[in-house]
Amino acid sequence: MLLVLWDVDQTLVNVDGLGGETFAEVFRRLVGRLPENSPPMSGRTDLDILGEMLRRNGVAPTSRTVARFQREFEAAFHDKVAALRRRGRALPGAVDAVAALAARPGVVQSVLTGNMRSVAELKLATFGLAAWLDFEVGAYGTESVARADLVPLAQERAGRKYGAVFDARSTVLVGDTPNDVAAGHQGGARVVAVATGRTSAAELRAAGADVVLPDLTDVDAVVAAVTGSARR
């Protein structure tokens, strides 16, 4: 069997900055002011982003504070579903690529994302991608600060559910940032990188991705890359 772990933002969907806006709104609601110094978010877990945002703005990231931010963020983002539908979109080829892989025997697809689970599910359901993804075996951004920790977590969950061993030979992470590449290799997965975000194809190759694609529009190329029949 093959476990395919998809990054969400800028790999499958673009939500037009709603996540960052929601972080800022929740910060203002709970702290009483907008954050003056926001960290980069690309390729990072929510725990990592939130901890740095709090520290940069003079707020101690205690477990209680972090938990409260997470609850407030989750509720606030779900309240933005109308804006999500209006401003967001599935990236070109994403639906067809995920559907094509779902049609192949022995392929299990889920997510490895910096988002919390309910937010990832909302984004992907909104743009027609959820039906082919097994969210039960995914790994999420509230489960570890380090993205690489999420790979073995997803492998363990998928192994229990499907009765197979998922390791570096049978796990593929698909993402759009150098952080995705590093997380995949450190965590124990092959990495297919797509230049659909802010990172160029050349930069993704330099980061060490096993295969680099310009986007997901060539479904045959995506399937070949993910299943291991494509050259770097």
- Owning domain of residue 68: 18-84
Same domain, 55 and 170: no
Task: Note whether residue 104 is domain-resident.
Answer: yes
pLDDT per residue as tens digits for the range 168-226: 999 999 999 999 999 999 999 999 999 999 999 999 999 999 999 999 999 999 999 99
The total domain count for the chain is 2
Task: Note whether residue 232 is domain-resident.
Answer: no
Task: Note whether residue 42 is domain-resident.
Answer: yes
The enclosing domain of 115 has a CATH number of: 3.40.50.1000
Among 84, 100, 132, the domain boundary falls at: 84
Q: Which pTM value belongs to this model?
A: 0.95
Residue in 14, 220, 219 with CA at minimum distance from that of residue 96: 219
pLDDT per residue as tens digits for the range 8-49: 999 999 999 999 999 999 999 999 999 988 888 889 999 999
Quickly state the pLDDT bin for 232 (edges 50, 70, 90).
very low
How far is CA 28 from each of CA 24, 34, 59, 72, 172, rounded to the nearest angstrom? 6, 5, 12, 11, 38
Same domain, 102 and 212: yes
| Average of per-residue pLDDT values in the chain | 96
pLDDT per residue as tens digits for the range 123-157: 999 999 999 999 999 999 999 999 999 999 999 99
**Side chain identity at residue 228, one-letter code:** G
